[in-house]
Chains A and B, each alone.
Chain A
Amino acid sequence: MFAALSQRRRLLLILLPVAGATQICLAHAILMESTPKINSTVQGPDLDITLRFNVRIDGSRSRILLVAEDGTSTPLTLAKQSKPNILQMHASGLKPGAYKLQWNVLAVDGHMSKGDVPFTVK
């Protein structure tokens, strides 16, 4: 029965035993620099994306989502890390409009952090 549930529901089941209500944000890895820059306008339709953090990042256990104006999100495939604190990826076929890069990264010391990079494609 457990296996028949979607991954999201399974996670909810895993997390529920100690559920409560609180609103907090863990903070550890900080985005020091990004391409595209936060709130910048870039030329489409192809885009090379680089995120530089203050600490070493476990790229294989991090997720970057490209969220379009209509809310649809696409996970981006990360290239092999050239430096331990840099994540690189490529997005193609971007239509003009507002986008958001949603990053969820795992630092090498085990702390998870998240954030957004909003930008516009002209």
Chain B
Amino acid sequence: MLVKLVDLFSFLSVVLRAGTLVFQSVLLGGVMFVLWTARYSPDASEDSIARVQASSWKLLRWSAVGLAVVQLFYLYVDSAVLMASADIPFRWVVGANFFLSGTIVLVAALFTALVAGGSKKVASRALPVLVLVIMSASVMTNHAASRLEQRLLLITLSSVHELATGFWIGGLPFLVLGLFRAKDLDTRWYITERFSRMAVLSVGALATSGLVMSILYIGSWGGILGTAYGIMVLAKATMLGALLVLGGVNFLLLRDFPKDQVMPRLRRLIEAEVGIGITVILTAASLTSQPPAVDQVSDTVTMGQLWQRFKPEVPRLSYRFLPETDPKISKPIQPSDPQAVNVDGTPLTPRLINNSIESESNHHWMGVVVLAMGLLALLARTGKAPWAEYWPLLLIGMAVFIVLFADTECWPVGRKSVGACFADPEVFQHRLAALVCVGFAVFELRVRKQKKENDPWAMVFPLMCAFGGAVLLTHQHAIKNVKETSLVELSHVPMGVLAVFAGWARWLELRLPEENRAIPSWIWPACFVLIGAGLMNYREM
């Protein structure tokens, strides 16, 4: 029981680390925004800037409070895990690096919240100092702090990386809010143009520091695809690439079009940037719980092993299990004649093979449904097959599949009664997921049939896609059987990235002015097709 609780708290620790990085970035971005981007100027209306400033200070205060709250939980959770795992009293925990760092961030965040609510003159002097304190303390719990070699260089690079992330990605929510609060076009133009200039510098710093850190932490080409760390870095870089594309479009819009034409499009693009940007920060948090690839040379998956696992094969759509026990001696069958092997070529027992058969078949059936959804959505997009607009009905098929096959021992296919099944937390979660699928199908069909502009229900589907993708990218990593874990990551991480892209592309299709919806309306069904294909080729042996 204690071990399970410690494991759970270890998982919570990663979630809280993600929360810390998000709030910290928003706080950094907020400080830059209120002190530099949205400064009073003759180029913008004073009244409008005052409105932007007021809402930005408020958001800055709340992000500081958010950081303090997350930090408090982080200290509590990490202290509890350390006390349990090292069997030490609380007074010994107090001197640990993470405790000192967390306490400093907590106090500095509380001061920030306090200062941001008071005199703006005092705040403008105190905030840069507080930001510096938060940054320095935060780097104490970074990979760089525990490295044996090139420690100073890595600490410097990490600091630059986190600062640039904060100024750019953390500043985006303030820009969205500012564009909403500014009353006139000139002020919106003024803050966007200034933010854009600062973003270009931040992107340069972010990419340069990220590239050098990737080289130092990954160490080889093989480590990019052969370790979970490398795969996560690749996912982060891909999403950063998407952000750069969106940022590039913003830049060209600002340069080439008149203000009144640009602003409606720009606001929607920035909304998608905020979503993808926060997912990048969450992925970074997940990365901090991983040992760098350069330390896992003997556990790096080779290209041959990757091909063996990912070469295209016919999907497994049947559930033909092997006998697990020998009826003559009533003992588990040992794999004398290997029918399946793991990544290292070790023969698997019939029980492990059966587990993999079940998991692979489930993934492949899901892949069939998702692929069909994507293809139908693409067909509907052509405008030549109106019946294909009913693709959300496939989600009901998915729900039926979950109810029938996820828990075969349960009603309606198994012997277990309805009551007994719902008492099992795992079965309960599966049944809840089935219900959510049905809910989605109903909402999305309603949205497609009614085609109302600015329908808030239409946002449920893209947000859930993006959220699902973010969860796939922020999950926990196992250390036992490192190579198998890397292979699972390699199959799931691309699906997470595609789900994030699908969600935000659909968001843009719904939010952009009608004449600009063409590209995103093709992107998200294509992402569904790729996710379906990925699921259909998922293998565990």
Contact = CB atoms under 8 A, between A and B. Distances in A.
Contact of A18 (B12, B93, B295): B12
Contact of A26 (B86, B142, B476): B476
Given A28-B291, A55-B147, A60 B92 contact: yes
Contacts, number: 140
Contacts of A110: 78, 96-98, 101, 140-141
Interface in B67-113: 78, 80-89, 92-93, 95-98, 101
A24 B148 contact: no
A34 interface: no
A43 to B, nearest CB: 27
A109 B5 contact: no
A14 B93 contact: no
B286 to A, nearest CB: 12
Contact of A12 (B2, B81, B146, B295): B2
Interface string A79-118: 0000011000000000000000000101111111111000
Interface stretch (B35-43, B178-186, B435-443, B477-485): B477-485
A54 B5 contact: no
Contacts of B5: 12, 15-16, 19
Interface residues of B, number: 53
A26 to B, nearest CB: 4
A62 interface: yes
B291 A30 contact: yes
A32 B299 CA distance: 12
B92 A26 contact: no
A41 to B, nearest CB: 22
Contacts of B11: 22, 24
Contacts of A104: 85-86
A85 B148 contact: yes
A26 B289 contact: yes
B479 A58 contact: no
Contacts of A61: 82, 86, 88, 92-93, 95-96
B480 A25 contact: yes
Contact of B10 (A60, A106, A112): A112
B259 to A, nearest CB: 47
Contacts of B92: 60-61
A77 to B, nearest CB: 13
B479 A113 contact: yes
Contacts of B82: 61, 106, 112
B518 interface: no
Interface string B460-492: 000000000000000011111010000000000
B406 interface: no
B81 A112 contact: yes
Contact of B148 (A7, A12, A14, A55): A55
Nearest to A26: B10
Contact of A54 (B14, B93, B295, B480): B295
Interface string A55-82: 1101011110000000000010000000
Contacts of A24: 7-8, 10-11, 476-478
Nearest to A111: B289
A3 to B, nearest CB: 12
B268 to A, nearest CB: 37
Nearest to A27: B479
Interface of A: 7-8, 11-12, 14-16, 18-30, 32, 54-56, 58, 60-63, 75, 84-85, 104, 106-115
Given A24-B476, A26-B289, 9 more contacts: A19-B8, A22-B476, A27-B477, A28-B291, A54-B295, A60-B92, A110-B96, A110-B97, A110-B141
